[in-house]
Amino acid sequence: MGYDLVVKGGRIATAADLFEADIGVRGGRIVAIGEDLGLGDRTIDARGRLITPGGIDAHAHIEQISSTGVWTADDWFTATRSAACGGTTVVMPFAAQHKGDSIRQVVADYHDRAGPKACIDYGFHMIISDPRPEIVDDELPELIRKGYTSFKIYLTYDALKLNDREVLEVYALARREGAFVMVHAENHDSIAFLAQKLLAAGHKAPKFHAVSRPQAVEREATHRAITLAELVDQPVLIVHVSGAEAFDQIRWAQARGLRIYAETCPQYLFLCAEDLDQPGIEGAKCMCSPPPREKANQPAVWRAIANGVAQVFSSDHAPYRFGDADGKQKALQDFKKVPNGVPGLELRMPLLFSEGVGKGRIDIHTFVAVTATNPARLYGLSPRKGSIAVGADADLVIWDPDRAVTVSHSLLHDAMDYTPYEGMQLTGWPIETLCRGVTVAKEMEFVGQAGFGQFHSRPLSDMARPVGRFPTGFNPHDGSYQP
Ligand code: DUC
Ligand code: ZN
Ligand code: ZN
């Protein structure tokens, strides 16, 4: 039997290997990898090109309403169109519960939004902000069993934060039902205290956003999230880690054998606190939480990726337009009113490729691991997603490793009116993106279709299973005590 598609002669990079071969695709899946597979019904000449697995962006806010009631600028169509043009073939945004919501209903509503518009494949994490008994005892177990196996919790934001007792209850539920927990780790009361003092002293400009959320508040909350996880033996991933001090806590936990994972994002490699300090309210374009740190912090984030302390590189795409009255223009009032977040779906992979692989800070295998393979393994998408292997979906990115691109928002495909990376000079670009063997982006243009994206429910992966060890020998889940 022939192939629907043969991608010929590219240099294939996986998390482990780099080799030249043809890829044969049938029915959207890779069915052969070998020398000289001949021609398919369609053939792509990839000689001189690099091929990596389609990117998995495991943290993005798409068509989501923020804790202060503002909708993201991107909907499912514009966000996934933009992701595709940047080499991403799977996105994993959040079905976000706000207080009082039924999470079952939130997930159903989110499906209704995503289904007709998604141009690439997708899964959902849930956000749990209201772990009341019927959610913990009834709705969540049902949803986890249906394959919504990961959720995010917050230690900050008035409308979202859980207290320590609630965190423990949610961790315990996750362990009982086999779910994986992502934690936004910043100390809420410290931020509220500092912000109030800053505003009272008249410090309202965007740069004070970073002053109100210093590394110490991230460090403390990271340590707390880890310690609570240790008490109940629940693996967790700390999302969007920004600072060397939080990474110190994570490295410490990993060295103790705790199953603690970390994610970081482009804004912590390519933006810094000084970017918030610009004339007028320009700095609001770079406001996200945790905030970008001082420039001297950036090498520590690179090291965390290179050394495997951070396993996942996501965008945390949270798009709020600069020109919108309920977007970044809120900075005209004060930094506390500004919706938090920066866009990054489309540039996540090109930025890391150019500045990481191209400049020798990380190797191509690490690039593939943190942009595709690790998120697939952690979140239960492998072996279908995250690698180039026989049996996997033909989610492929064909790179021109030498293409020089000066970043301009006019090149991008989101619904935003700016990119914080304007003017950066990159080398290497994803010139063709295939999702299940279908070209969805080519030569910086979107050629896919709304509704093509498929939803993926997800089993728990081995990486997210508990270790089976408790600090005192007391297992709070079954009451047993074995000192
Ligand atoms: N911080 C978040 O916690 N979520 C969205 C974006 C941001 O900056
Ligand atoms: Zn967050
Ligand atoms: Zn986020």
Ligand nearest to the CA of 59: 3
Residue 182 has φ and ψ, to the nearest 5°, of -110, 140
pLDDT tens digits along 218-249:
999 999 999 999 999 999 999 999 999 999 99
Q: Which helix (H) or strand (E) holds 9?
A: strand 5-13
Residues 236/466, Cβ–Cβ less than 8 Å:
no
Which residue has its alpha carbon closest to ligand 1 atom 7?
341
Residue 430 has φ and ψ, to the nearest 5°, of -75, 105
Residue 1 has pLDDT above 80, yes or no: no
pLDDT tens digits along 185-200:
999 999 999 999 999 9
Q: Is the CB of 392 under 6 A from ligand 1?
A: no
pLDDT tens digits along 350-371:
999 999 999 999 999 999 999 9
Residues 28/385, Cβ–Cβ less than 8 Å:
no
Q: Is the CB of 315 under 6 A from ligand 1?
A: no
The topology under which CATH files domain 54-382 is TIM Barrel (3.20.20)
Q: Which helix (H) or strand (E) holds 182?
A: strand 180-184
Q: Which atom of ligand 1 is nearest to the CA of 289?
A: 8
Mean pLDDT, the chain, rounded, equals: 97
Per-residue tokens: 130? 């209201």
- What residues have a C-beta under 5 A from ligand 3, the ion? 316
CA dist 150 and 417 (Å) reads 32
Position 67 scores a pLDDT of 76
Position 51 scores a pLDDT of 98
> Residue 482 to residues 141, 180, 473: CA-CA distances in angstroms?
28, 25, 5
Angle at 358 between CA 428 and CA 263, to 5 degrees: 95
CA 213 to chain centre: 21
Domain ranges across the chain: 54-382
First and final C-alpha spacing in the chain: 61
Residue with tokens 């191209």: 358
Per-residue tokens: 461? 């992966």
CA dist 451 and 428 (Å) reads 29
Q: Which of 340, 342, 345, 416 to mutate to test the pocket of ligand 1 (most atoms within 8 A of CB)?
A: 340
Does residue 141 have a cis bond before it (omega within 30 degrees)? no
Q: Strand 236-238 vs strand 121-122: parallel, antiparallel, or unpaired?
A: unpaired
Of the chain, the percentage scoring pLDDT greater than 90 comes to 98
Position 178 scores a pLDDT of 93
Residues 437/5, Cβ–Cβ less than 8 Å:
yes
Position 483 scores a pLDDT of 86
Q: Residue 337's pLDDT band (boundaries 50, 70, 90)?
A: very high
CA dist 354 and 7 (Å) reads 23
Which residue has its alpha carbon closest to ligand 1 atom 1?
289
CA dist 131 and 103 (Å) reads 10
Q: Is the CB of 318 under 6 A from ligand 1?
A: yes
CA dist 384 and 376 (Å) reads 8
Q: Average pLDDT of 378-390?
A: 98
Q: Residue 439's pLDDT band (boundaries 50, 70, 90)?
A: very high
Q: Is the CB of 341 under 6 A from ligand 1?
A: yes
Residue 50: CB atoms within 10 Å: 21
CA dist 361 and 298 (Å) reads 12
Q: Which atom of ligand 1 is nearest to the CA of 66?
A: 5
Q: Average pLDDT of 145-168?
A: 96
Q: Which long-range contacts (CB under 8 A, 24 or more apart) does 302-307 make?
A: 302/269, 302/356, 302/361, 302/362, 304/241, 304/247, 304/250, 304/251, 304/262, 304/264, 305/264, 305/356, 305/362, 305/366, 305/370, 306/361, 306/362, 306/366
Position 68 scores a pLDDT of 79
Three-state DSSP class for residue 42: strand
pLDDT tens digits along 278-324:
999 999 999 999 999 999 999 999 999 999 999 999 999 999 999 99
Residue 147 has pLDDT above 80, yes or no: yes
Report pTM. Answer: 0.98
Which residue has its alpha carbon closest to ligand 1 atom 6?
341
Q: Which helix (H) or strand (E) holds 266?
A: helix 266-270
Position 180 scores a pLDDT of 97
Position 231 scores a pLDDT of 97
Q: Residue 398's pLDDT band (boundaries 50, 70, 90)?
A: very high
Q: Residue 69's pLDDT band (boundaries 50, 70, 90)?
A: confident
